[in-house]
Structure 1
Amino acid sequence: MTENDILTTALDQWKSAVDAHDPKRVATGFTEDAIFQGLHPYSVGPDSVAEYYDSQPLGLTADYSVLQTRRLADDLVLGYLSVDFGFTDRPTLTVYLSVILRRTGETWLISHYQVSRLPDHS
Structure 2
Amino acid sequence: MSTTTDNDTILRGVLDRWKSAVDAHDPQRVASGFTEDAIFQGLHPYSVGRHGVADYYDSQPLGMTAEYRILETRQLADDLVLGYLDVDFTFADRPTVAVKLAVLVRRAADGWLIAHYQVSRLD
1:98 and 2:110 matched: no
* Aligned-partner Cα distance in 1 for 2:75–2:100: 19
1:87 aligns with 2:91: yes
Measure, in 2, the Cα distance between the counterparts of 1:18 and 1:44. Answer: 19
Give the letter for the 2:9 counterpart. D
Matched, 1:47 2:51: yes
CA–CA distance in 2 between the matches of 1:45 and 1:17? 17
Report SS of the residue matched to 2:43: coil
- 1:24 is matched with which residue? 28
CA-based RMSD: 0.9
* TM-score normalized with structure 2 length: 0.95
Identical positions, percent = 70
Query: C-alpha separation between the residues in 2 aligned to 1:20 and 1:47?
Result: 18
Distance of 2:18 and 2:40 partners within structure 1: 13
Runs (5+) with no aligned partner, structure 1? none
Question: In structure 1, what is the equivalent of residue 68 of structure 2?
Answer: 64
Partner of 1:14: 18
List, as ranges, runs of 4+ consecutive aligned residues in structure 1 with deviation greater than 2 Å.
none
Specify every segment of 5 or more residues in structure 2 that has no aligned partner in the other structure, as ranges. none
**For each residue in 1:45-76, what CA deviation from the matched residue of structure 2 results, as whole angstroms up to 9, or x when unmatched?**
00110000000000000000000000000000
Any idea what SS the aligned residue of 1:15 has? Answer: helix
Q: Deviations over 1:8-50 (max 9, x none)?
A: 0000000000000000000000001100000001000001100
